[in-house]
Each structure stands twice: as structure tokens, then as C-alpha cells.
Structure 1
Amino acid sequence: MQFTKRAFLASGAAAATTLALPRRGWTQTVQQVGTMEITTLSDGNLMLPAEFIFGPMPQDELAGVLAPFDMMPDQALTPPCNITLLRHGDNVVLFDCGAGFAFQDSAGRLGDALAAAGIDPLDVTHVVVTHGHPDHIWGMLDDFDEPLFYNAEHLMGETEFTYWMDDATVNSIGEERASFAVGAKRRLEMMEGNMTLFADGAEVLPGVTARMTPGHTPGHMSFVIADGNDALMVVGDAIGNHHVAFARPAWESGSDQDLAMGAETRTALLDQIAADNMTLIGFHLPNGGIGTAERDGEGYRFVPSA
């Protein structure tokens, strides 16, 4: 079977494509923010065709931008999936909950990571959602279609929730992403009775403030986690990789639903993060996803935390 963008976007086909692939091992990276402990846990990795990200980019310039990363424009991509875990007082908070069992076989490893960290899913008090794509929310339900984080309050931006719950989305999102819409709506309907919605700028939990960062999806949210003078930002997929997203943030990425808005959001975020010397956590960034952005020529470079 040829590994194409269409094959990836059709979840069933994507699972079939990756059945024989090895699973990534569990990893964790820890960062302290004041009295808050931040840990990133591995949900495995995705398998993406190059065109899923690189398709709309200037092809005559792309090879030169990728060369420092030992990458080629036609190279299949295997981005990691980093789930952020916040422990503060009695709160055990997950930012997103992974792909679960039904998306790609190379992902859905959060259960292993939680077990290695000594956390039972029933210990989780809150699940805070950046956006409704499969690798971020399909892990809400277990393989019996029951809520996996049964005791947790689930929180999602109102704009994002409304988008995925709208019956019209499956017909407007495009044929290749229609399965995303079906899967998201089914899971959000199951969780609707335990879902708290919030707006841009809301303090969703003590020390956690939502920031609208649209483009990747219409209501994508990032989150600033702060305690005293310490702060970091969970950026989800607003900054979706460590190569072109940093080196050429203004280039449109095929992974974004609104390509122009995604590029505008990404550029503004990196400008702020670099200017403020703020730590960030990216869902698909390497080395646990925690690091900083430094100016580098026309763009930036990702510097992982030690």
C-alpha cells in the first residue's frame, strides 16, 4: 500500500499501514515551574507522508532548509507525540490524552507512560484539550468505549468544541479529514456531560491560562502555565515540528486546516516566545518536547532543554 496523505488521513487505512511498525519506547522529561511539576509523557509517534506537512511549501527552497536536519523533502516523517502532565497540589492534569487504540499503531502508548510514572488513569483529575484531532483526543475512550479518565473533569475551548460538534463539519472539513470529524464528534458526545467549556484568556485551573492559537484548527488553544516568576507555554500543534516550523514559521504547512492563519499564529507565537525567553512544550517536538526558541537567520531554531 502506498503511504500517501490520503492514506494517513483515513484513520483505518493509517492503522493498517503501521501495523508492522515497531512502537516507540516510553520517555519522560521533567520541568519545574515554581511549585508545579511538569512532565512530558510519550504517546508514541505518528507516521506521516512528507506531503502532509511539506506539500504547500516552496519546493525549490525546501531541500536547503531541511538539509541541516539531515532530512529530505520526500522523506516520511515520524514525529513524537508528547503528552504534558502537570502535578500541582491535589491536581493531576493531562494536556490532551493521546491517540488511543484506534488511530495509528505506532501511537496510543500513553497508558504505558502513565504506568511507568506510577499514575493510574483514575488518578487524573483534569484533561485539558488543545484541539480535537485524533492524536490529541481519541484516547478519551478506552477499547470498551468507556471514558478512560473516568474521574477527570474534561476542559475544552468553546470554539473548538462547537466546531467538532457541528453536524456540518464533516461535510465542510474535506473528504480527507472527514474521519477526523466523525471520530471527534463521537468522543465529545460521550464526554459532553463531563465537559467544561472555556474562552480565550480564561484561567482554566490555578496557574493555567488559555490562549487562542487558531489555524491548525479553528479553536486551537495553547496554555501558559505560571507560578510566581516562572512560566512556560504548552503550544500543542500551533508549532508542529522542530524543522520548518521554526526555520520558516511563515511558510504554510499542509498539516494546518487554515494554512494562512496557522502561519500567522506560528510566527506570532515564536516571536513572543523568543523575545520573552519562555520555555515551550510542543506536542510533536523532539527530546520530550520541552525547550526554547532562539533566533537563527530568517527564523528560529528549537533548543531542547537539558
Structure 2
Amino acid sequence: MAVTKFAALFAAALLAAPLTAAPMPQPVAPEARWVAVGALRVAALHDTDFLIPNDGGTFGVDAGVPAVTAVLAAAGAPTDTVRVGVNALLVELPGHFVLIDTGVGVAASQLMPSLTAAGVKPGDVTDVLITHSHGDHVGGLITSDGAQAFPNAKVRMSAAEWTFLQANTGAAKLVAAITPQVATFTPGTMVVPGITAMSIPGHTPGHVAYEIVSGKVRLLDIGDTAHSTIVSLAKPDWSMGFDSDKALGKVSRRAELTRLAASHEMIFAPHFPYPGVGTIAAKGDGFIWVPAAAGSFTN
């Protein structure tokens, strides 16, 4: 699909993250991979991938293109673009199917086929938890004709994020459709049994992560705390163009990555390469990504 055509769909579907250029969607196959979290099961759902230009507008906006290029080159990655995944997390709980974020919800989206691959129908989803209201996380809340995509689900987001979404004039169609479903919370709340919302401020006013706990095992869906396994981890103190409060975003990113490297807690990072499950390790003044072993997953 041409980038200009996709950009129109992107805007129409409320994909309102502050990109400086239209991202280039990459074709992906629908996929669901299950992994155990204690006695629970969670599935990473593949939605799409984007290629974000290395143009100084998104990654390292205060460092400059040459500095970002050097980091990408040192990692053996292409230097003209940064690949960013778009994935969602499905959690199977007693009496609940919980979906964390809903993907882009436009022509490039593979969320619904991936949900089908997990053996779950949209009507089976009881709770949709939103990390934040950028369109690549809320776009899939409505169908192409504006109907609720998950008609039997409560849509849960922080109160600050709901206020932020309602104030977005481009979100009127989505807000009108989901208002009857929305239930807000204060970060720190256990929003459904076994899943607690944790404030990680800076990306948007009400951005949260979700910690899933079963016994002594934990998995944290970090939302948009980090976007790239290369740039975001190697240089967490560089400004991210997507962050509404860039200074606070830097502080939050450094603090959370430091905590995760010390705890070795398993995470799900929706923008890391699919399936986006693994751990964070310290390296020098930054961090590296340690993906979960392939044998950890089942289809």
C-alpha cells in the first residue's frame, strides 16, 4: 500500500501518535504465541510492523541523525529506518479474556486474525486494558464501520488518559462508540484480578504499564516505555519524539529500565520485535534486550 494512502487511513483511524512522517507499514502474518506466567497463560498477538524514518523527528530528537545512525550501525541494523513492532497481549484469567491494547485497527492490522489464531473471538473478550490512547493502541477498539470491536468488554484506562482521549478532536468517533464501555481507574489499582496498573509517566498524561502476577511470577506489559530494542535501550536518556513530556519520559524510561534490569522480571514490550517477550539487562550506561527463548512459547 502506498505510504500516502496509508497515511490517510492512519489519520482516519485515529493513529494520532506524534509522528513526523507517515510510517511505512510492513506486511506481517497473523500470529499468536502463548507463554506461561505462573499458572496463567498470555499470548503475544502480532498486529503489524512500521519502519520509522531516522530523520531526527522520532528517535534521538535531541541527539541528531548522525548519533542515531552510529548506534544503529554499531548494532548491525539498517541506519535509514528503525523497525517498530505493533503487538498486543492477551491474558487468559479465570472467567476473563483480557486484551491489553488493540493495535492500529486499519487495513494493515492483523490483530483480529491473530486473536482468532489464539482461539478467541472478539465477543469472548471481557476486558480491554489500554496503556495509553495513541492510535496504534486504541485504533482497534472500533470496526471499520465505527461499531464496538469488542462488544462485551469493559474498556479500562486511567482517568487521566480518558480525559486526554476525550480532548482529542480527531477521536470523536471512537470516543462516542466506546463511552458506554469505558471504566476508568487510578494507577496503582488492580484493574482485574491479577493485573495491576502502574504509572509510568511522560509518554502521555495517563500512560500506564500493566503487571500480571501469578504466584511469584510476574510479567510487565511496559506499553510505550521503550520503542526500540536498539536505540531506546542503548540511549534511554535521548528524547523520544512520541513522548508528550520528553523530559519526564527520559526520567521514567531510565528509572523503569534500571528497575527491570535489577529484577530480571519478564516483560512484554508491544513495540519490540514480535513476540516482544523477554528481559532487560544492563550494559555499560545503557541496556540490552534478552528475548525469551523460542522454547518458551506455544502456538
> What TM-score, normalized by structure 1, do the two folds share?
0.85
Q: CA deviation at 1:9?
A: 11
Mapping of 1:121-200 within 5 angstroms? 121-166=122-167, 181-200=168-187
How far did residue 31 of structure 1 move?
Answer: 2.0
TM-superposition CA deviations, 1:61-108 (whole Å, max 9, x none): 3233212332354x133311110000011210100111112xxx43x2
Whether the 8 Å CA contact 1:3–1:49 is kept in 2: the answer is no
8 A contact 2:240–2:246 mirrored in 1: yes
1:64 is paired with a residue whose SS is: helix
Change (3 A) 1:14 1:194: closer
User: 2:256 matched to 1:255?
Assistant: no
Contact 1:215 1:262 survives alignment (8 Å) = yes
Q: C-alpha deviations, 1:108-131, integer Å up to 9, x for none?
A: 210110112221101111100000
In 2, Cα distance between the equivalents of 1:164 and 1:18?
22
Is residue 83–residue 228 contact of structure 2 (8 Å, CA) maintained in 1?
no
Q: Deviation per CA, 1:36-69, whole angstroms, max 9, x where unpaired?
A: 1011000112242223422514235323321233
For the pair 1:78 / 2:78, whether they are aligned, the reply is no
1:244 to 1:95, Cα distance in 2 relative to 1, 3 A: same
| Residues 1-306 of structure 1: pairs in structure 2 closer than 5 A | 11=11, 23-51=27-55, 52-54=57-59, 56-59=61-64, 60-73=66-79, 75-101=80-106, 105-106=107-108, 108-166=109-167, 181-306=168-293
Equivalent position amino acid for 1:63 in 2: T
Kept after mapping to 2: 8 A contact 1:53/1:253: yes
Matches of 1:70 and 1:110, distance apart in 2: 30
Contact 1:134 1:183 in 2 (8 A): no
* Offset at residue 10 of structure 1 (A): 6.7
C-alpha root-mean-square deviation of aligned residues, in Å? Answer: 2.5
Assess if the C-alpha contact under 8 Å between 1:129 and 1:156 holds in 2.
yes
Contact 2:26 2:48 (C-alpha < 8 Å) held by counterparts: no
**Aligned AA for 2:81?**
A
Whole-Å Cα distance in 2 between the matches of residues 134 and 162 of structure 1? 15
Change (3 A) 1:292 1:261: same
Partner of 1:170: none
CA deviations over 1:141-189 (Å, ceiling 9, x no partner): 11121101001111010011111213xxxxxxxxxxxxxx334343123
Quick one: distance in 2 between partners of 1:279 and 1:109? Answer: 25
How many Å separate the matches in 2 of 1:71 and 1:262?
25
2:81 counterpart SS class? coil
Structure 1: any 5+ residue segments left out of the alignment? 167-180
| Aligned-partner residue type, residue 121 of structure 1 | P
Measure, in 2, the Cα distance between the counterparts of 1:231 and 1:142: 32
Distance 1:9 1:120 in 2: 25
Runs of 4+ in 1 over 4 A off after TM superposition: 7-10, 12-15
Structure 2 CA distance for aligned equivalents of residues 165 and 76 of structure 1: 32
Q: What SS does structure 1 have at the residue aligned with 2:133?
A: coil
Q: Structure 1 counterpart of 2:241, which letter?
A: G
Give me the whole-angstrom Cα distance separating, in 2, the residues matched to 1:183 and 1:90: 35
Q: Give CA deviations for 1:247-285 in whole Å, capped at 9, x if unaligned.
A: 111111112121111111111110111111111111100
Q: How many residues are paired up?
A: 282
The code of the aligned residue for 1:81 comes to V
Q: Is the 8 A contact 1:27 1:288 kept in 2?
A: no
